[in-house]
């Protein structure tokens, strides 16, 4: 989750003047380059054992891109980049290298809808010319489609095979148009549901599920208050027992584009090792040649070529936003987990707890005193012993899930995951209802020390403080079946 760690950095906003660059951080714009290329900005990654009734033998993977989408974002809405490569990677043996990669490529098909004007047919400037109820609607001016490929082994040199529609054998899938409004889409829920596919994955004997489309952004965070010099009355329950649920979600009206897969556990794991690691990336071609005189086809505006260059990376929350130094944020986004040793000092000697002490020291907040921060190494780089640490693991930043951990029914899920005694939640994978902001705040300030994980209770003087951003989330905010995430916020909703 790209936004999680932001809260911690902004809790330290009282020292922003001494720390140029922190003020420019953002929930979805975590590196300088991605501010220039929002279509390939990965915002959140979820990986959890499916808790839909009868689907507990599956794992759901959700990779979100293009955050901060306004429902009324027309006339050109949030198409994916046809010149980009979007990927979800799975490491199923703990060696910090991908063993399975799911690659998404998109295509925008302009229909060039026209209307007669004074006896002449003229191309319309809009996305649609009438109501839309079905895929490939004749009223839809731009019909977006995509392909999905699974690669076994190295993402560039491994064996690549197309994933196909279990219903008709096609290797091309339709992507639903964004929720322009309720006049364009009389029933968006029914329309989007027609884009949930049963899929055949090569080497997997049981079909999975696939959905790619716009959803309500599942992440919650108090961006407004934190960016306004931590304009939060009570950033911890020690200051206000009701501080966790103040309704301060700045993303309440924002959408995101979700790439979702539900796959059998047996198709993701390797032998007797039940723990899988996952992360997402986006890549662009190394070269771009702009056309000074583009033609009528929008695709002619530029020519892309050369090898793929990775520009976005996301696994565990917190890491690139407020652990990696500003000078290395683009470098981290271009890196692989196998090379994470170069960033180790950012994890073992984090700066943000010290900043929290500076800002809230008068209220009793003190940074953890154990160095190196082995508790953070455990949480973010190796997995927690007995919960989600592989038998043989190379320290690397991945979201890790133990696929043998029993599913917690939605009504019994703790929004605090493992910290709330719910071992099926974050950091053992991540479910939509896991409040990773509050969890991450408490872990960074030493909550694991109180559990003798990587440090001792005496190392975390403020470890028991329940830090929060006041933006509350739990499983009740989501559906209990694939694709789990809610209907996007429409651009117009006239009753």
Is residue 271 pLDDT above 60, yes or no? yes
- Residue 236: its pLDDT value, please? 83
Cα–Cα distance measured from residue 152 to residue 98, given in angstroms and rounded to the nearest whole number: 8
SS3 assignment, position 370: coil
Contact in structure between 182 and 491 (CB atoms under 8 Å): no
Cα–Cα distance measured from residue 95 to residue 153, given in angstroms and rounded to the nearest whole number: 12
- Residue 225: its pLDDT value, please? 65
Residue 34's Cβ-count burial label (10 Å; 0-12, 13-18, 19+) is: buried
Cα–Cα distance measured from residue 131 to residue 139, given in angstroms and rounded to the nearest whole number: 7
- Residue 300: its pLDDT value, please? 76
- Residue 233: its pLDDT value, please? 74
pLDDT in tens, 94-130: 999 999 999 999 999 999 999 999 999 999 999 999 9
Cα–Cα distance measured from residue 397 to residue 281, given in angstroms and rounded to the nearest whole number: 13
| Confidence label for 19 from pLDDT (cuts 50, 70 and 90) | very low
How many C-beta neighbours within 10 Å does residue 415 have? 23
pLDDT in tens, 387-443: 999 999 999 999 999 999 999 999 999 999 999 999 999 999 999 999 998 998 899
Percent of the residues in the chain that have a pLDDT greater than 90, as a whole number: 68
- Residue 450: its pLDDT value, please? 94
Is residue 205 pLDDT above 50, yes or no? yes
Find all residues with CB under 8 Å of 90, minimum gap 6, and list them: 98, 99, 100, 101, 102, 268, 276, 277, 278
What would the mean pLDDT of 358-384 be, rounded to a whole number? 89
Cα–Cα distance measured from residue 478 to residue 218, given in angstroms and rounded to the nearest whole number: 8
Percent of the residues in the chain that have a pLDDT greater than 70, as a whole number: 91
| Confidence label for 229 from pLDDT (cuts 50, 70 and 90) | low
Cα–Cα distance measured from residue 452 to residue 459, given in angstroms and rounded to the nearest whole number: 10
Is residue 230 pLDDT above 60, yes or no? no
- Residue 226: its pLDDT value, please? 60
Residue 89, φ and ψ in degrees, nearest 5: -110, 145
The residue among 495, 485, 492, 479 whose CA lies nearest residue 179 is 492
- Lowest mean pLDDT across 188-202, 332-346, 381-395: 332-346
- Residue 320: its pLDDT value, please? 67
Q: What is the pTM of this model?
A: 0.93
Quote the mean pLDDT of the chain.
89
Domain ranges of the chain: 6-477
Contact in structure between 191 and 176 (CB atoms under 8 Å): yes
Cα–Cα distance measured from residue 108 to residue 80, given in angstroms and rounded to the nearest whole number: 8
- Residue 29: its pLDDT value, please? 62
Is residue 317 pLDDT above 80, yes or no? no
- H/E segment holding residue 153: none
Is residue 74 pLDDT above 70, yes or no? yes
Strands (E), 42-195: 42-49, 58-70, 84-91, 100-110, 114-117, 120-123, 142-152, 159-162, 164-165, 173-174
What would the mean pLDDT of 318-347 be, rounded to a whole number? 84
Is residue 25 pLDDT above 50, yes or no? no
Contact in structure between 53 and 482 (CB atoms under 8 Å): no
Contact in structure between 258 and 178 (CB atoms under 8 Å): no
Is residue 325 pLDDT above 50, yes or no? yes
Is residue 68 pLDDT above 70, yes or no? yes
Contact in structure between 485 and 478 (CB atoms under 8 Å): yes
- Residue 361: its pLDDT value, please? 83
C-alpha radius of gyration, the chain, whole number: 23
Cα–Cα distance measured from residue 243 to residue 245, given in angstroms and rounded to the nearest whole number: 6
pLDDT in tens, 244-256: 898 878 889 999 9
Cα–Cα distance measured from residue 3 to residue 28, given in angstroms and rounded to the nearest whole number: 6
Contact in structure between 462 and 445 (CB atoms under 8 Å): yes
Is residue 268 pLDDT above 60, yes or no? yes
């Amino acid at each position: 989750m790209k936004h999680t760690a932001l809260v911690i950095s902004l809790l330290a906003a009282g020292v922003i003047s001494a720390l140029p660059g922190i003020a420019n951080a953002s929930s979805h714009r975590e590196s300088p380059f991605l501010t220039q290329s929002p279509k390939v900005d990965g915002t959140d990654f979820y990986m959890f054992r499916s808790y839909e009734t009868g689907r507990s033998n599956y794992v759901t993977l959700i990779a979100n891109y293009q955050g901060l989408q306004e429902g009324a974002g027309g006339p050109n809405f949030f198409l994916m980049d046809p010149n980009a490569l979007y990927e979800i990677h799975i490491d199923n043996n703990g060696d910090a290298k991908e063993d399975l990669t799911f690659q998404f490529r998109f295509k925008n098909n302009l229909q060039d809808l026209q209307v007669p004007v004074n006896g002449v047919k003229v191309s319309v400037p809009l996305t649609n010319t009438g109501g839309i109820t079905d895929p490939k609607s004749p009223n839809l001016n731009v019909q977006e489609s995509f392909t999905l490929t699974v690669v076994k082994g190295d993402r560039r040199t491994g064996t690549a095979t197309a994933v196909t529609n279990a219903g008709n054998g096609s290797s091309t899938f339709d992507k639903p148009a964004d929720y322009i409004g309720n006049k364009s889409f009389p029933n968006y829920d029914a329309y989007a549901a027609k884009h949930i596919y049963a899929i055949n994955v090569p080497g997997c004997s049981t079909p999975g599920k696939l959905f790619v489309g716009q959803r309500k952004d599942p992440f919650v965070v108090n961006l407004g208050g934190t960016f306004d010099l931590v304009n939060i009355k009570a950033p911890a329950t020690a200051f206000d027992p009701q501080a966790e649920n103040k309704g301060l979600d700045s993303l309440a009206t924002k959408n995101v584009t979700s790439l979702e897969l539900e796959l059998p556990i047996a198709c993701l794991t390797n032998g007797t090792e039940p723990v899988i690691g996952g992360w997402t990336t986006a890549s662009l071609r190394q070269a771009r040649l702009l056309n000074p005189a583009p033609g009528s086809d929008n695709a002619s505006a530029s020519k892309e070529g050369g090898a793929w260059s990775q520009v976005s990376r996301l696994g565990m929350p917190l890491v690139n936003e407020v652990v990696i130094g500003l000078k290395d944020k683009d470098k981290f986004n271009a890196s692989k987990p196998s090379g994470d040793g170069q960033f180790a000092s950012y994890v073992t000697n984090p700066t943000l707890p010290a900043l929290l002490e500076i800002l809230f020291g008068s209220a009793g907040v003190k940074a953890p005193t154990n160095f190196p921060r082995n508790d953070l190494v455990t949480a973010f780089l190796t997995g927690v012993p007995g919960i989600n640490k592989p038998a043989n693991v190379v320290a690397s930043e991945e979201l890790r899930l133990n696929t043998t951990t029993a599913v917690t029914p939605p009504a019994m899920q703790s929004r605090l995951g493992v910290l709330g005694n719910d071992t099926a939640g974050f950091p053992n994978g991540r479910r939509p209802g896991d409040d990773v902001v509050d969890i991450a705040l408490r872990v960074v300030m030493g909550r694991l020390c109180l559990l003798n994980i990587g440090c001792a209770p005496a190392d975390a003087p403020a470890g028991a403080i329940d830090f929060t951003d006041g933006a509350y989330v739990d499983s009740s905010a989501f559906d209990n079946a694939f694709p789990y995430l809610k209907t996007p916020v429409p651009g117009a909703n006239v009753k």
